[in-house]
Amino acid sequence: MTFSSSQRIPLSKDERVRYSRHLALPEVGVEGQQRLKAARVLCVGVGGLGSSCALYLAAAGVGTLGLVDPDRVDASNLHRQILFAEPDVGKRKVDIAQQRLQALNPHIHIPIYADLLNEANALDLIQQYDVVVDGSDNFATRYVVNDACATLHKPQVYASIFQFEGQLSVFHADTGPCYRCLYPEAPPIDLIPNCTQGGVLGVLPGMMGSLQATETIKYITRIGKPMIGRLLTVDARTLQFNEYAVQKNPHCLLCHHHADFYALPRPQAGCEFTLSALENDEITVQELVLMIAQKTDFLLLDVREPFEYDICNLSGKLIPLSTLSSRLPELNPQQLIIVHCKTGGRGRKAAALLKQRGFHAKNLEGGILAWAKEVDSTLSEY
């Protein structure tokens, strides 16, 4: 495999001015900047991590900076996703990110992919790039990124965040461990709250995304010591950084057993855990309207957080997903439970957990936002 950043592409006069502070560094110099110009980096996700990382990679002169993200800008993104502003709400993230990054540096090429990176497209997409920056926010995508990078012998610059804590490493199965060596399986359903549920300090993804950009630039320019075989953790409350050695796992399905990419077990796309399909266990908002009209006996269970409930609600019983396991005695196992959250993801988890514990539960497809769009437009959306 040829690593494109080993090539040397001449720098224009404008580029020499733009990158003059890099060129002044003996460890980077003209040769290092030419490697950056020749490099092809794929950013998976342009949310909190991807926003800051992509900004610095674009500014540094990475010649081809691919962006993958299927989402649109939401108002709740703006406190941490610094590529976006109020007028961007509702627009595709990759479109806005491409515009902002191209304005920052017109000398680079920015392909965009408004798709979810999944098992069907990961190999074809990732093989076009030299380095993959994993800014994903769910386990399904994270395992796909890892498995594709290991299969294709590509380095993966990993970071993750939750509340005040962050993690960083570089996984490269050719020379060190992969993500599965550290986390062979996704955590259980009730141990994996996301940013909506658990919250996140707005500056934390900026810190971790900047570190991802640092590791990417180091890897491309061949300076310093990459985080391969090392895991960095940070607690923003104390600003304490800790480093741990990570070894190849002798039981790793990928590194040790060399399992085929398509044969590897992974969490379902769109979920942060392995879960049997909830076929026939979801109802539409129109079906819920009919149930209400027919005075069907059921409990409407809202598994969002209290602050979300205060913004808008359907007068259901509020039990956040993070506390559901401990509050099951409050529920009647003989009563049908209709679960809802904001858009459906947490509701599926809650319904699955309830079913595992013997309850009869169904999830409201699309959550309260679907209700606001199709039934009651007076509800505040967020």
Q: Which residues are catalytic?
A: 195, 341
Tokens of 50: 């991807």
Q: Cα–Cα–Cα angle for 121, 124, 130, nearest 5°?
A: 120
Q: Which 3 state secondary structure label does DSSP give 295?
A: coil
Q: Which of 215, 142, 153, 151 lies closest to 179 in space, CA to CA?
A: 142
Sign of CA dihedral 72, 76, 80, 83: positive
Contact assessment for residue 209 and residue 53, using Cβ atoms and an 8 Å cutoff: yes
CA distances from 71 to 37, 41, 57, 275 (A): 28, 20, 21, 23
Q: Give the integer Cα–Cα distance in Å for 79 and 340.
A: 25
CA distances from 283 to 278, 337, 370, 371 (A): 11, 11, 11, 12
Q: Give the integer Cα–Cα distance in Å for 330 and 354.
A: 12
Q: Which 3 state secondary structure label does DSSP give 345?
A: helix
Q: Which of 371, 374, 382, 373 lies closest to 314 in space, CA to CA?
A: 371
Helix, strand, coil % in the chain, rounded to nearest 5: 40, 15, 45
